[in-house]
Amino acid sequence: MKFFALIRKRKNSAAAAKALSSPAPLIPEFEEIFEVVTELLISDPFDSSEDSIIQESELKEILLTLIVGLREHLTKVFENPSDQHKSMNQVGKDLELAGVKPIAYTQWNQSPIQGLAARIILRGKVRTALFGPSLALVRNTAPLRPEISAIVESATAAGNNVYILAIDGLAYAVYEVSHRLQEIIK
């Protein structure tokens, strides 16, 4: 019996020495990558009346304005931003890279389910702008145009986030944002 105990002790001490001499295993690090896959802006979503036509440049300014409000909100909140916040922020980064500038807003609000909302002044009229998940905004807008519905369906099938920009109850834009993890190689 002592013979087997001696062999077992030697194996255990050899394994312990090997563990001490070998470097600790590397723990991989990952970063989240958010990417705008699809962007569709529609200047005249309903009846082509003068009040409902909004140029693409104005739509981008409105959208960036809502996202600037989100960034201000996140600096005041002491918790990690959600994936929804991060993917919305990616839309804002893309707009800023394109040279878009925000406009003034009032009564900004954020809801995890509904998304972002604010009152903006556009051409002398106060309007309500919403930017949020497609499932929430489908209930809060007039029927979606076929182009927007097609993007919502394909993006949902692909597992991507889909956000709609609505102004005064009309859907003007849709954004599809992908989300993936990527290993950081050092």
The b-or-e profile of 100-123 (16+ CB within 10 A means b, else e) is bebeebeebebeeebbbbbebebe
Domain spans, the chain: 34-184
CA-CA distances (angstroms) from residue 29 to 26, 175, 178?
9, 29, 20
- The angle at the Cα of 66, spanning 55 to 103, to the nearest 5 degrees, equals 60
* pLDDT score of 1: 52
* CB 157 within 8 Å of CB 26: no
> Residue 182 has what pLDDT?
83
* Unique residue bearing structure tokens 């919502």: 152
In this structure, CATH architecture of domain 34-184: 3-Layer(aba) Sandwich (3.40)
The tens digit of pLDDT for each residue in 46-82 reads 777 777 889 999 999 999 999 999 888 888 876 788 8
Residue 18 has pLDDT above 60, yes or no: no
pLDDT in tens, 80-99: 888 888 999 999 999 999 99
| pLDDT attached to residue 6 | 45
In the three-class reduction of DSSP (H, G, I as helix; E, B as strand; rest coil), residue 29 is classed as strand
Closest C-alpha to 109, from 93, 78, 131, 134: 131
What does the pLDDT look like over 20-53, one tens digit per residue?
A: 566 767 788 888 899 999 999 999 887 777 778 8
Strands 125-133 and 115-122: antiparallel
Q: Which pLDDT belongs to residue 2?
A: 55
Lowest-pLDDT range of 13-17, 37-41, 152-156: 13-17
